[in-house]
Amino acid sequence: MINRVVLVGRLTKDPDLRYTPSGAAVARFTLAVNRTFSNAQGERETDFINCTVWRKQAENTANFLKKGSLAGVEGRIQTGSYEGQDGKRVYTTEVVADSVQFLEPKSANADRSQGQQPSYQQNQSPSPSQQNHTRVDEDPFSSGSGPIEVSDDDLPF
């Protein structure tokens, strides 16, 4: 049986980093991912997918990704349930990430705050010494209340 998921989207808020009693880091965040098709009104809908990442990847995610950061997540779907305060069963679905990739260069934040689109060069992978992350201080979703657009240029494949 196979349970693998690959997502590309933008964080809806800063990751929430916590530590278990045994000291293991865990970060939770929500990824906004556009659907590949349009609805009856010709608009793309967006799914908001809860993600969890553990240990060193959790610390890196919390340190280098912020609200609005473009990220790629690879992992598995995990479901669960618990009894809510009203006594009813609540079902959960999340992606437990094995890998979180930072898909924007550090300069993307400066470009975005100046209203410019970052320029990307194809087939150029960063050297290990480069930090491939971004920090976003402004709300990239404030320009409208519609779906979040992700162009084909934003996708790593």
Assess whether pLDDT exceeds 60 at residue 51: yes
Q: Give domain status of residue 149, yes or no.
A: no
Task: Compute the Cα dihedral for 68, 69, 74, 75 and give only its sign.
Answer: negative
Q: Give domain status of residue 133, yes or no.
A: no
| Measured distance between the N- and C-terminal CA atoms of the chain, rounded to whole angstroms | 25
pTM of the model: 0.66
Rounded Cα distance, 69 and 103, in Å? 8
Domain span at residue 98 reads 5-35+44-102
8 A C-beta contact, residue 156 and residue 72: yes
Q: Give domain status of residue 129, yes or no.
A: no
Q: What is the CATH number of the domain that holds 11?
A: 2.40.50.140
Mean pLDDT value of segment 63-89: 94
8 A C-beta contact, residue 26 and residue 19: yes
Residue 109: per-residue pLDDT = 54
Assess whether pLDDT exceeds 80 at residue 38: yes
**Number of domains the chain is built from:** 1
Assess whether pLDDT exceeds 90 at residue 92: yes
Mean pLDDT value of segment 38-44: 86
Q: Give domain status of residue 71, yes or no.
A: yes
Q: Give domain status of residue 95, yes or no.
A: yes
Q: Give domain status of residue 13, yes or no.
A: yes
